[in-house]
Structures are given as structure tokens and as C-alpha cells.
Amino acid sequence: MFLDKDKVKEYIYSNVASVFWSFFLMFGAAVFVLYYIYIGYMPDFDMTSSISLLAAVSATSIFLLLFVVLMGIMPGIFWDYYWHEVGEETNFSRRWKNKEAVTTVWLLIFWFALPVLIFVTSFLGGWLYKTWLYSVSPLVFIMYCSYALSNSDVTLWAGFKECFSLFFALLLSSILALIPFFFILSVSLLEGYSDTKILFLIAILSLFLLFMNVLVAAPIANSSSSNNTINKNKLKKNAVIGFMILVMFFIGTSSIEIIPKAVMKLYKFGDINATKVVFDKDGCLILKEVGLKGVGGSDICYIKDVLILSRLGEEYYLEISSNAIMRNNAYEEEAYSTDNASDERVGSTVNEVKSSIDEPDNADLKSAHVIRVTMQAEHVLSWSTINDDKS
């Protein structure tokens, strides 16, 4: 039997604070669950007992999501605001305002999306490939300005003001568009995509992004509605478009975990690139039992270049690459050579330690790209990162 809608609304209205707080905490819990699904591990951790932790994660995640959404639609918002408030006196926006909807979209693609795409492409091309590509932007602007003047009956001074307004609007819109472009590029590089796939993703997502911003910049023409109604409708429209950009970005880059990873890294709950993790005696024995060899003596040992996937609850979840294992072996061999040369009295002890860390015992570990292992938190004495000496 379905719930009575009136009773549900009555309950929500009478318990607004508790309902909002519940959904707020559920959002934080969802961020945790999404991250642990991504790493394929769930710690023994009671989230309901750490309300403040859930609240912090939820607030940070919502802020990051809103930032990504706003970053995606900011070029269109600025273009619409500029020609409505700042550049209105030039009347340059007459070229796309008060037209039919389809005509407005095509005109905005010509006057807004296309030059912004060329400006951004020429900047990225000049920065990454050939410096002469920087010159494409001013040439395109001169062509647009000449075209605008040739199709206008305004005076020379008025035409100059229109060109200056167009240049300023395109420059600021292009700078704002660079932010999501760089964001897409950074995520693609972090995901380890090939150059061909990165270029393909940037091309597809950039075209989609600019088209969505055209819809954001398109004015809502309804003379029978008040300004408040138009502003509310514009806010709803921009929110829907921003959400569509967010979904398309996650689908295109296959990186829906980027927000949970960023939150976990920010609060040092997980996804921590540790330069060194130090273990006690029992921890060193556990590493040896699973085929890993720590650098150091029998009482205390360490492993360098470790990714701490999770440190919540009673366990650490660690990821160690095969390259890191080889580097750790090299560190131990170097320490052995140095100690043996400086003091022959410890040679027998070092030989004993060295013999236990030359190669992993398990043959499967030798061919593995990464090795993941759990470790009781009580056996982890400390860990360090580049920006944080000790945690």
C-alpha cells in the first residue's frame, strides 16, 4: 500500500530540521560507501557512532559537487550577466536577443561558443605544442570585430565600444572555460588514459560543455512574467544544466569516485601517498608472512612509497606497487653495503636481515603490479607524506 502523500508532506514540514539532518548524514555515508566500493574493501567501522565525521564529509562533498557544477556553467552565467548588466549600453546583444529559441541558440553558438572554443584551443595548443598557435586568438577576434562592424550601421566610436565589449566578454568567458578544461585534462591524466583517448575525451566533453553553456547564456524571453519569476526559472534551468554537465563529466571520464577520493585525501582517511610507513615487530612479521619484506631490523621496519587506501577502523588497508617493492629491496641493499663498509662487526646481523628481504616468497607477488594488504592499526607506528612529516 502506497504512503499517503499528504501525511508524508505533513511529516516533512513538521520535522524539517530532523529530515534535513538525516539526509545530510546519509549523503556523507554514501560518500564513504562509494569510496569503499571503489577500492573493494569495507573497514570494521561504525559510521553511526561518528556523527561529526559524517557531517564533515557530507559538507565537504556537497561543497565540492557545487563547485564542480558552478565551474561547469560559469562561462554561460558570466556571458548572460555581462550583456544584461555591464554591456547592455552597447546594445551588442541585440544580435541574439528577442529571437526565436532555435535562432537564439545558433546565434549564441556563433558569437559565444565558437570563439571561446577557438580561444581555449589556441591557448592550450600554444602551451602544449607550438607557440605560434597563440596568434590564432587575436586573428579570430579581429575577424569577428570586422564582421560585426560590417553588419552594423553604428558610428565608428560606437563600433569601437562594441568591439571592446565583445573582446572583454570573450576573454573572461574563455578564462572561465579554461578551468573545466584543465579539470578534465587533469582527471584524464590521473586516470592514466592514452594521449589519443585524452584528446578524444577533451574534444567530446568540451563540445558538450560549451553547448550546455550556450543554453545557460540563452535569455528567457517571457514578457508576461515578472523579473522574480524569470530569475527563478533561470536558476532552475542553470541547476538542471549544471547537474547534466556533472553527470556527463562522471560518465565521460569514468571517475565518479573523484569526489570521495578528494574528501578521503583531504581528511587523511584514505588515498594517502605515504613516503614511508613504519611497523612494529609484529607488523614486520605479518609483512613477511604475506611475502613482503620491510626495510630495517627485526624490531622495527618500514616500507617506502605506500598508498594508504584506508586507515579508518581497526585496520590499515595498504597498496604497494611492485616497483615500490623493488625500490625497498634496493634501499635495503644500499643500507647493507654502507653498514658493512663502515663496521664489519654488524655484518653477520645485516646478512641475516638482507637474506630475508631479497625477493618476495610468493611467486604470484613477483608478477603482481600492485599488492594490497590489511594491517592492524596497532602495528603501524607512524607514516609520513611529503607535506606532513608525521601523522
Mean pLDDT, to the nearest integer, of 189-205?
Answer: 78
pLDDT at 213: 92
Q: Give the tens place of pLDDT for each residue, 206-221.
A: 889 999 999 998 877 6
Count CB atoms within 10 A of the CB of residue 223.
6
Mean pLDDT, to the nearest integer, of 253-280?
Answer: 87
* Of the candidate ranges 1-10, 207-216, 349-358, the one whose mean pLDDT is the lowest: 349-358
Helices vs. strands in the chain: H and E counts, helices first: 14, 6
d(C-alpha 234, C-alpha 121), whole Å: 29
**pLDDT(363) > 50:** no
Sequence-ordered list of residues with C-beta below 8 angstroms from that of 382, at least 6 positions apart, any chain: 277, 278, 390, 391
Question: Are 173 and 75 spatial neighbours (Cβ–Cβ below 8 Å)?
Answer: yes
pLDDT at 262: 87
pLDDT band at 114 (very low <50, low <70, confident <90, very high): very high
> Residue 47 has which C-alpha cell?
559510521
d(C-alpha 197, C-alpha 204), whole Å: 10
pLDDT band at 131 (very low <50, low <70, confident <90, very high): confident
pLDDT at 352: 38
| Residue 8: Cβ-neighbour burial (10 angstroms; 0-12, 13-18, 19+) | exposed
Strand partners, 318: 308, 373
> Residue 85 has which C-alpha cell?
548588466
Q: CA dihedral defined by 310, 385, 189, 119, rounded to 10 degrees?
A: 120
Amino acid at position 74, single letter: M
Mean pLDDT, to the nearest integer, of 146-152?
Answer: 80
d(C-alpha 303, C-alpha 111), whole Å: 57
Residue ranges per structural domain of the chain: 53-261, 269-384
Could you give the 3-state DSSP secondary structure of residue 294?
Answer: coil
> Residue 390 has which C-alpha cell?
608525521
Mean pLDDT, to the nearest integer, of 132-158?
Answer: 83
Mean pLDDT, to the nearest integer, of 351-378?
Answer: 58
Q: Give the tens place of pLDDT for each residue, 283-318.
A: 888 888 877 777 877 788 888 888 999 988 888 999
- Alpha carbon distance, N-terminus to C-terminus of the chain: 53
> Residue 391 has which C-alpha cell?
601523522
Q: Give the tens place of pLDDT for each residue, 33-83.
A: 889 998 888 887 766 667 888 888 889 989 988 998 999 999 999 998 888
pLDDT at 347: 39
Sequence-ordered list of residues with C-beta below 8 angstroms from that of 197, at least 6 positions apart, any chain: 188
Closest CA to 373 of 295, 319, 311: 319
pLDDT at 228: 72
* Of the candidate ranges 22-31, 316-325, 353-362, the one whose mean pLDDT is the lowest: 353-362
Question: Are 315 and 279 spatial neighbours (Cβ–Cβ below 8 Å)?
Answer: no
Residue 212 φ then ψ, to 5°: -65, -35
Q: Are strands 301-310 and 295-296 parallel, antiparallel or unpaired?
A: antiparallel
Percent of the chain with pLDDT strictly greater than 70: 79
pLDDT at 224: 56
pLDDT band at 327 (very low <50, low <70, confident <90, very high): low
Look at the pTM and tell me if it is higher than 0.85. Answer: no
Mean pLDDT, to the nearest integer, of 375-384?
Answer: 89
Closest CA to 357 of 298, 305, 306: 298
Distance of CA 72 to the CA centre of its chain: 12
> Residue 239 has which C-alpha cell?
541547476
pLDDT at 33: 87
Strand partners, 306: 274
pLDDT at 109: 93
The more confidently predicted of residues 215 and 14 is 215
* Of the candidate ranges 21-30, 76-85, 118-127, 317-326, the one whose mean pLDDT is the lowest: 317-326
Question: Are 42 and 36 spatial neighbours (Cβ–Cβ below 8 Å)?
Answer: yes
